Structure 1
Amino acid sequence: MDKKTISRDGTSLAYESTGQGPALILVSGAMSTGRTVAPLAVPLSDRFRVVVYDRRGRGESGDTPPYAVKSEVEDLAALIEAVGGEAALCGISSGGALALQAAASGLPVRQVAVYEVPFAVYEGGAKERAEYTERLTEALEQGRRGDAVELFLRLTGMAEEMIQGARQSPMWPGMETIAPSLAYDDAVMGDGLVPRERLASITVPVLAVAGDASPSWMGEAARAIADAVPRGTYRSLEGQTHMVEPDVLGPVLAEFFGG
């Protein structure tokens, strides 16, 4: 990341931008940094100034305890100010929940697109989230970062043998490094249910996208987001999973943000 800006509480935020045009900020999800979503900037940078950044507590950005979702909204406010005073937002997974929160908070946002925000639409979803929050909090308080990562991977539905394989991979130490930020994404997700009242207050256009190869509840959650906002649109991408291909999602985003 070649640029820095400072959030309201003094936290240093690392970011970089590519391309020319209206500003578009990409917001990463759990266990991710700006580098994770950077490939999505490639198909968008011919029409937009695409900004990627490390959310607080990960990558090259700083952190200032105690954590609050409001602080991450203020981070986006600082980034928007740094890139011209107005921007569109695109959030991936739980980063989409943060992008929607920012829009509902009245930040100068033109449009919002989100991909597979993992809000629960199934019976027991809130209970599952509460149990995850309790166990995650305990693991992090006890310094068991590896266990915290395992909890998150199980929440995503990863098979046990794959989790144990991940523990032996070269990527595992890096995952443990940013494990404390799992609590931040958990806070952003709230009780895990679609926040319909908050979404109803968003006045800008919102695009909610899901892949049709993902679990069906992902698509249902995206539809629920689109239905809850006054100016919402839902799109399904053929053959895509939660690990969406940038060259597939990119053109859909370019059409929406360029409209």
Structure 2
Amino acid sequence: MDKQITSRDGTPLAYEIRGRGPAVVLVSGAMSTGATMAPLASRLASGFTVVVYDRRGRGSSGDTQPYAVVREVEDLAALIEAVGGDAALYGISSGGALVLEAAASGLPVRQVAVYETPFADHSGDGAKERAEYTERLTEALGAERRGDAVELFLRLTGMAEEMILGARNSPMWAAMEAIAPSLAYDDAVMAGGLVPRERIASIGVPVLAVAGGASPTWLQAAVEDVADAAPKGMYLTLEGQTHMVDPDVLAPVLAEFFQV
């Protein structure tokens, strides 16, 4: 990240800008930094001024305590101001919950797009599972057991135990532990894990909710609920895609939606 801006509470945010055109801010999900969004940014840069950034508590950005979701909304406000005071927002996974909250908070956004924000409305005991995850995550982070916190998150995503063990013994584990405290931030952004219908209903700009056709049916249903809750909501399925969406498939869809 080659630029830095200061959020309202004094937190430094690392970001970079690519391309020219209407501004679009890309928001990553849990256990990721702005670098995760770089491939998508590259594919959108031919038609847009694309902003990628490290969310607070990860990468090269700061982490002022105490955390609150409103602080992350203020971070987006600062980034939007830095690129002219108007932008479209895209968020993947829990980053989608953040951009929906930002739009509902009245930030100056043109459009909002989300990919597979994992609301648990259709996943059986999803709400109960989320509550248990929050409790155990809080306990693990409070005891500085960062590795256990990462394991909890990976299990929440459905990763098999043998894959978790492999991850724990891999070179990437140290980097995952380094940003483990930010898992609590994503958990707070998800606000209990159910679709915030009333908040989404207050969003007056177009909302595009996208899911992968190869993703679990409960996740596709939750994404469709997001579109249904938005007054100007649209739902789209990308055939053959999973939660690890191919930027070559996603970018043309976003480019068409974000055209002013």
TM range (shorter): over 0.9
TM-score normalised by structure 1 residue count: 0.99
Q: Which residue of 1 aligns with 2:61?
A: 61
Ranges in structure 1 where 5+ consecutive residues have no aligned partner: none
Q: Which residue of 2 aligns with 1:35?
A: 35
How big is the shift at 1:48? 0.3
What is the alpha-carbon distance in structure 2 between the residues aligned to residue 222 and residue 124 of structure 1?
Answer: 17
Which one-letter code corresponds to 2:168 in the other structure? R
Which one-letter code corresponds to 2:248 in the other structure? D
Number of corresponding residues: 259
Q: Is the 8 A contact 2:28 2:91 kept in 1?
A: yes
TM-superposition CA deviations, 1:70-127 (whole Å, max 9, x none): 0000000000001110100000100000000000000000000000000012232111
Runs of 4+ in 1 over 3 A off after TM superposition: none
Partner secondary structure for residue 179 of structure 1: coil
What is the alpha-carbon distance in structure 2 between the residues aligned to residue 81 and residue 43 of structure 1?
Answer: 23
Partner secondary structure for residue 43 of structure 1: helix
Ranges in structure 2 where 5+ consecutive residues have no aligned partner: none
Which one-letter code corresponds to 1:228 in the other structure? A
How big is the shift at 1:39? 0.6
What is the alpha-carbon distance in structure 2 between the residues aligned to residue 236 and residue 84 of structure 1?
Answer: 32
Which one-letter code corresponds to 1:142 in the other structure? A
Q: Identity over aligned residues, as a percent?
A: 77
1:103 lines up with 2:103 in the alignment: yes
How big is the shift at 1:218? 1.3
What is the alpha-carbon distance in structure 2 between the residues aligned to residue 119 and residue 83 of structure 1?
Answer: 30
TM-superposition CA deviations, 1:132-154 (whole Å, max 9, x none): 00000000000000000000000
How big is the shift at 1:246? 0.3
Q: Is the 8 A contact 2:121 2:127 kept in 1?
A: no
Q: Which residue of 2 aligns with 1:50?
A: 50
What is the alpha-carbon distance in structure 2 between the residues aligned to residue 139 and residue 191 of structure 1?
Answer: 18
How big is the shift at 1:217? 1.1
TM-superposition CA deviations, 1:213-253 (whole Å, max 9, x none): 11111110110000000000000001100000000000000
Summarize the alignment of residues 122-201 of structure 1 with structure 2, pairs less than 5 Å apart. 122=122, 123-201=124-202
How big is the shift at 1:61? 0.2
TM-score normalised by structure 2 residue count: 0.99
How big is the shift at 1:37? 1.0
